[in-house]
Amino acid sequence: MKKTLVKRDEEGSRLVLSEAQEDYLKQIFILGEGRQKVGTQALAHRLEVRPASVTEMVGRLAQLGLVVHARYRGVSLTESGRRVALEMLRHHRLLETFLVEMLGYGWDQVHEEAERLEHVISERFEARIAEAMGHPTRDPHGDPIPTADLSMPPEATPMSLAELPAGESGTLARVGAQDRENLDLLGRLGLAPGSSIEVIAAEGTALRVRAGGESFLLPGFLAERLWMEDE
Amino acid sequence: MKKTLVKRDEEGSRLVLSEAQEDYLKQIFILGEGRQKVGTQALAHRLEVRPASVTEMVGRLAQLGLVVHARYRGVSLTESGRRVALEMLRHHRLLETFLVEMLGYGWDQVHEEAERLEHVISERFEARIAEAMGHPTRDPHGDPIPTADLSMPPEATPMSLAELPAGESGTLARVGAQDRENLDLLGRLGLAPGSSIEVIAAEGTALRVRAGGESFLLPGFLAERLWMEDE
DNA sequence: GTTAATTTTTAGGTTAGCCTAAAAATTGTA
DNA sequence: TACAATTTTTAGGCTAACCTAAAAATTAAC
């Protein structure tokens, strides 16, 4: 009844990480955009644990050679750590795509499911769904899917809806929010990747926009997480 | 970053079980064939833990009202416990079927994958794959899949290959073994659910049989786990 | 450049799930 | 029915991953 999925790193040595450890590495990657140092507090916030727990776990990951930790200065990933993070990100995004394309989920219903599945699928599962979907390069939120050899497809630096000048419009390319609350709001407003949105004007901290023939107010922090491309 | 899948029992009260607990309940179900008492040792063997660990966990499950434990006398499932076990069995067998039918796995490559996935898929996932496959009633090993309302389809009491008299033949209906070693052996011999097998004679503890035009020797303990039906 | 605010770490504690070794209960046997 | 063998439980430990509260380091503000 042992069930832990054993992964191998590039040198072929056995790497057995807990799901918690995989989550830490993934969040360090996301917060540090792959390369930068990440603070204990930011990480604690993302992982919904206390800073003290982060310090402890980061120490363990450092011993495993997955992160570099300069006390009081932040953590960053080593090459092996980066690979684990990218593997998780690839699993997550492939799974989201799979849930939408093959199992008929809504694009805003896939995050939590992928979050649990990403830690337990095998290389075979990963390869089969990737193949079945024709090796997709974007997930349903518009995020790029790392390739099988774990490189991240390069992207044009994107512009958020919040930065778009009043009067201009664009197409929603990526939704950088996965929490229930914001996804539900987008759903109610009829916004999804591919939607065309026009900025009318800033109203205080919020933004008045038009989409799908209707105009409405969008909270500023959400507008900052909607990445646009030209039409 | 809390990720535990929350399930609800029939009264609607929150039921949050660990994967370990789900495994215990599933094995108690399998060993006790749904109703009988199961000994500490047998359970420990199946779960690959020590008897002392079983005693401890069984105590916890009893407190949760999922099993009844008479000290020194064995454990059995309560109705809630039975439902959890059937839910896991349904997940497991649906997943195995899904992996074979939709992702092109071999029937002998699905067990370990299903073993990990069964604990983390949502009700939605379960419903979607069941629907996509037309609500199958048997998994790739020939085992019955519990229905969505968690009842186990009744079955004719089966006869094992070991019980089949010499000279007679039948069709392999169910393979009651999921370990790598035995599955690989069956694979090498070209045996799979649906194969026609003729018993030639007992040779000591083993059994000489003919299938696919070839004759070979099958270990007795394996023959006891191959369930046959008439041709 | 001190001092105050913030961030990070340390110290000490908890729980689940496992373990080994020893004690207790049950079962099998003469 | 007594004694031996087996099974089960108890007692005491360990580790991973969390926690709170207090101490230490860094950063920001005057």
Q: What is the pLDDT of residues B104-138, one digit of tens each?
A: 999 889 999 999 999 999 999 999 999 999 999 99
Intervals of CATH 1.10.10.10 along chain A: 1-154
Contact status, residue B105 vs residue A126, Cβ threshold 8 Å = no
Q: What is the pLDDT of residue B8?
A: 65
Answering whether pTM is above 0.90, one says no
With beta carbons under 8 A apart, name residues in chain A contacting B2.
Answer: 48
- pLDDT band at A11, cuts 50/70/90? low
Residues 6+ apart with CB under 8 A from B163: none
Is the C-alpha dihedral spanning A119, A120, A124, A125 positive or negative? negative
The larger pLDDT score, comparing residue A39 to residue B160, is at: A39
Q: With left for phi above 0 and alpha for psi between -120 and 50, is residue B12 left, alpha or beta?
A: left
A57 CB-to-strand C distance under 7 Å: no
User: Could you tell me if B127 and B192 are in contact, meaning their C-beta atoms sit under 8 angstroms apart?
Assistant: no
Digit-coded pLDDT (tens) for A45-79: 999 999 999 999 999 999 999 999 999 999 999 99
Contact B76, B35 (CB under 8 A): yes
Instruction: Report the range out of A101-110, B19-28, B133-142, B195-204 with the highest average pLDDT.
Output: B19-28
Residue A129 confidence (pLDDT): 98
Is the model more confident about A71 or about B156? Answer: A71
Task: Count CB pairs under 8 A between chains A and B.
Answer: 67
Please say whether the beta carbons of A208 and A200 come within 8 A. yes
Q: What does the pLDDT look like over A149-193, one tens digit per residue? A: 999 887 777 788 888 888 888 888 788 777 777 778 888 888 888
Instruction: Choose which CATH entry (1.10.730.10, 1.10.10.10, 2.60.120.650, 2.60.120.280) describes domain A1-154.
Output: 1.10.10.10
Report, in ranges, which bases of strand C sit under 7 Å from a protein C-beta.
7-12, 16-22, 25-27
Other Cβ atoms within 10 Å of A171 Cβ, number? 14
Reported CATH class of domain A159-230: mainly beta
CATH 2.30.30.90 residue ranges for chain B = 159-230
Query: Which residue of B102, B105, B116 is in closest CB contact with A120?
Result: B116
Average pLDDT over residues B39-61: 97
Asked whether residue A42's C-beta has any atom of DNA/RNA strand C within 7 A, the reply is yes
More confident residue, A96 or A34: A96
More confident: B55 or A209: B55
Tell me the nearest-neighbour CA distance from B193 into chain A, angstroms. Answer: 23
Q: Is the pLDDT score of A125 beyond 70?
A: yes
Q: Per residue in B56-92, pLDDT tens?
A: 999 999 999 999 999 999 999 999 999 999 999 999 9
